[in-house]
Amino acid sequence: MSRKEPILRVEDLRKKYDSTEAVCGISFEVRPGEFFGLLGPNGAGKTTTIGMLTGWVEPSGGRVEIRGMDLYAGPRDAKRAIGLVPQSFAFYPALTAGENLTFFGRLYGMRGKALEERKAFVLEMVSLADRADQSVGTFSNGMKRRLNMAVGLLHEPALLILDEPTVGIDAQTRNGILESLRRLNLNGMTVLYTTHYIEEAQDLCDRVAIMDHGKIIALDAPRALIQCLGKGIIRMEFHDTVDESLLGRIQAHGGITRVDAPRKRVHLETDRTAAVLRDLLDLKKNGQLLFKTLDVMEPDLESVFIHLTGRGLRD
């Protein structure tokens, strides 16, 4: 494979469950050495997409190529090029960390000295070298997350796919995993990453694809998306229900992106944050706008996400 050819190529990928189209003909490429993010609110189609990219879910149509190999026409060789770190723990808790790695290494045809050396390498990488002989059932969630990553890296994949690898762990462990991923990527590892922590994507990813309702609605470098689409968001919470008259006064200063169901919280989107904030504070001072709390989000990847989907990443 030429260095210029993508590690992953997705063409018109679709998945339909009965009358529901979960993924609606998405196409994208992941380049060699790239850190690529896949973002979307709950129900956007990310999990189904990851399932199809790894061969766990059969697509209704489209094509997936790994290093030029069709994932569904020649799955054995294509799958060997993928390392998957799923959100669920993918190992045997009754075995030790070392025994788990031996088991999975042998599934990939690894044996003898090469397997032992690679086991030692990945355990050191995820800071579990001193826990190799400990039963995984006694591990903390953070240690299990790190072992999950070690299993995915064991066979030296061309493409590492991580699905929410930092969910449910403490900040120290999370930072350790993110630092490990940075080092791997700097050393040439191609990464496809999904996360509910949008600041991770902004910090780590060369490019991100934003999904909603089964479609990719934006794809570019985080900085380019912020420059093109990012707006400030002013969030207000009121003591009482917001009526149409009050909404009209607020909307005169910018576009309202969301009003919650009780009609007590309003998100106002604007490209002149400072000026609008001054106007709103003047309205409050004059008794025309009595909000309980007010906070401001300057343009960043999260504000781009809300602008495009109308929803927060964790909604």
- CA-nearest of 167, 159, 180, 170 to 32 is 159
Q: What is the mean pLDDT of residues 42-58?
A: 93
Range of the domain at 263: 231-298
CATH of the domain at 248: 3.30.70
Tokens for 253? Answer: 């200063």
Amino acid sitting at position 299: P
Which strands, in side-by-side order, build the sheet including 35-39?
82-85, 159-163, 190-194, 35-39, 207-212, 215-220
The verdict on residue 310 lying in a domain is no
3-state secondary structure of 278: helix
The verdict on residue 313 lying in a domain is no
Considering the domain architecture, whether residues 95 and 204 belong to the same structural domain is answered as yes
Strand 35-39 versus strand 207-212 pairing type: parallel
**Is residue 74 a contact partner of residue 100, using CB atoms and an 8 Å limit?**
no
CA 27 to chain centroid: 17
Q: Out of 48-57, 190-199, 226-235, 304-313, which region has the weakest mean confidence (pLDDT)?
A: 304-313
Neighbours of 93 (CB within 10 A): 12
Q: Looking at residue 313, what is its pLDDT?
A: 52
Give the list of residues 6+ apart from residue 276 with CB closer than 8 angstroms, or none. Answer: 232, 234, 253, 254, 268, 270
Considering the domain architecture, whether residues 249 and 153 belong to the same structural domain is answered as no
CA 92 to chain centroid: 26
Q: What is the mean pLDDT of residues 77-96?
A: 94
d(CA 87, CA 144): 11
Considering the domain architecture, whether residues 63 and 135 belong to the same structural domain is answered as yes
- Total domains, the chain: 2
**Is residue 244 a contact partner of residue 236, using CB atoms and an 8 Å limit?**
no
Considering the domain architecture, whether residues 208 and 290 belong to the same structural domain is answered as no
CATH of the domain at 50: 3.40.50.300
pTM of the complete model:
0.83
- Model confidence band, residue 101 (pLDDT cutoffs 50, 70, 90): very high
Strand 61-66 versus strand 8-17 pairing type: antiparallel
The verdict on residue 1 lying in a domain is no
The verdict on residue 40 lying in a domain is yes
Considering the domain architecture, whether residues 151 and 205 belong to the same structural domain is answered as yes
pLDDT in tens, 234-293: 888 988 888 888 788 888 877 776 787 778 888 888 888 888 888 888 888 887 778 889
Average pLDDT, the chain: 90
Q: Calculate Rg over the CA atoms of the chain.
A: 23
